[in-house]
């Protein structure tokens, strides 16, 4: 399989933005051993672009409310770069953090007031006049779908947020919110990896396919546990990845991403690494067409038993 425009990009939910098949997650941007200077951030952005990765996944809270700003400084220093990328960011989690002294307890806020102020802060931090996609970071038991829908419609009319998505939403929560929106929820960003198969069987990915939503997959490596975890399951999955890597003459990372990319929902894995070699390695997955039996080989390595 060669890397072509077709397998490099996907349009979210038919009417959503066109994004790269792999997104780069900036979650740990400030944890880079080589620092978070404008130079370093730009190096990583360009490494992504060189691999066809144009979509960057943020959240207001990443890096103690600091990642957006570090990324925004890189954009400011590099005129024209904004037009080459898509920015996804999130709102709604309220951390107890020195940067937010008003928060006495971790909670969620999807009031009009908070969504608007969070978006406006993200726009300033990211040095941009629009977000391609805004995600509601986690479902709240107090989420009022009418208030959220009205707020998003206003932000969309103002050109500040082009598309709305959700993250970690159960099907019933997504359906509740969708019922109030004139436009489509363009993605549901959920945890998916060989150690975390829930989304395959609990209706989350079924709903995405039914509604034509492309899910995003956070933590494709289970936060590194797939490569470093010491349990039986981790060892089995690592063994299977190694065996397939040899068969396909690829890296285990690439096999892992190819496993996610094979899902018919056109899932967009979110790559979270500060190492440029790993960006390239993951992106090489776009050229791998994993055989059906090999896909189940990795599935089965994780569950520990054959499919029913």
Comparison of 17 and 194: residue with beta carbon closer to a copy of itself:
194
Which residue lies nearer to a copy of itself by CB, 207 or 214?
A: 207
18-20 and 161-167 as β-strands: parallel, antiparallel, unpaired?
unpaired
Dist CA 104 CA 92 (whole Å): 15
Quick one: which of 32, 43, 109, 243 contacts a copy of itself (CB under 8 A)?
109
The CB-of-195 to a copy of itself minimum distance in angstroms stands at 14
Judged by CB under 8 A, which stretch of 24-32, 58-66, 102-110, 224-232 contacts a copy of itself? 102-110
Shortest distance (Å) from residue 36 CB to a copy of itself: 26
CB of residue 288 vs a copy of itself: minimum separation in angstroms?
A: 16
Q: Does 299 bind a copy of itself (CB under 8 A)?
A: yes
Q: Kindly indicate which of the ranges 16-24, 61-69, 80-88, 143-151 contains the residues binding a copy of itself, using the contact rule CB under 8 A.
A: 143-151
- 110 as an active site residue: the answer is no
d(CA 260, CA 38): 31
Residue 5 within binding range of a copy of itself, rule CB under 8 A: no
In this structure, the dihedral spanned by the alpha carbons of residues 33, 34, 36 and 40, taken in order and rounded to 10 degrees, is -140
Q: How far is the CB of 200 from a copy of itself (least distance, A)?
A: 4
Subset of 273-292 contacting a copy of itself (CB under 8 A): 292
In whole angstroms, give the CA distance from residue 130 to residue 17: 13
Catalytic residue among 24, 62, 110, 248: 62
In the range 195-224, which residues lie near a copy of itself by CB under 8 A? 197, 200-203, 205-207, 209-210
46: phi then psi, degrees, rounded to nearest 5: -70, -35
Piece of the chain touching a copy of itself by CB under 8 A; list 15-23, 79-87, 246-254, 293-301: 293-301
- The residue (of 162 and 205) whose beta carbon lies closer to a copy of itself is 205
Active site residues: 62
Binding residues vs a copy of itself (CB under 8 A): 94, 103-109, 111, 138, 141-147, 168, 170-173, 175-176, 179, 197, 200-203, 205-207, 209-210, 262-264, 292-293, 295-297, 299-300, 306-308
């Amino acid at each position: 399989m060669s890397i072509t425009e077709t397998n490099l990009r996907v349009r979210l939910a038919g009417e959503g933005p066109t994004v790269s098949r792999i997104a780069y997650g900036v979650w740990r941007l400030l944890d880079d051993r080589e620092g978070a200077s404008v130079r370093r951030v730009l190096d990583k952005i360009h490494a992504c672009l060189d691999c066809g990765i144009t979509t960057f996944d943020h959240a207001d809270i990443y890096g103690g409310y600091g990642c957006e700003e570090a990324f925004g400084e890189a954009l400011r220093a590099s005129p024209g770069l904004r037009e080459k990328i898509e920015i996804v960011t999130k709102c709604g989690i309220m951390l107890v953090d020195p940067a937010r002294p008003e928060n006495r307890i971790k909670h969620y806020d999807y009031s009009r007031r908070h969504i608007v102020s969070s978006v406006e802060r993200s726009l300033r931090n990211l040095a941009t006049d629009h977000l391609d996609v805004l995600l509601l970071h986690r479902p709240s038991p107090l989420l009022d779908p009418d208030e959220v829908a009205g707020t998003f419609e206003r932000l969309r009319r103002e050109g500040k947020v082009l598309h709305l998505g959700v993250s970690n939403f159960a099907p019933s929560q997504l359906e509740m919110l969708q019922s109030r929106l004139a436009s489509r929820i363009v993605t549901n960003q959920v945890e998916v990896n060989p150690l975390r198969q829930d989304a395959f069987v609990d209706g989350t990915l079924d709903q995405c396919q039914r509604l034509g939503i492309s899910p995003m997959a956070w933590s494709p490596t289970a936060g590194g546990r797939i490569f470093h975890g010491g349990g039986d399951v981790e060892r089995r999955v690592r063994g299977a990845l190694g065996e397939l890597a040899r068969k396909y003459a690829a890296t285990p990372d690439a096999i892992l991403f190819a496993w996610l990319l094979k899902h018919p929902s056109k899932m967009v894995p979110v790559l979270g690494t500060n190492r440029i070699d790993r960006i390239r390695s993951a992106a090489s997955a776009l050229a791998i067409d994993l055989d059906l039996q090999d896909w189940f080989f990795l599935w089965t390595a994780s569950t520990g038993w054959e499919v029913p």
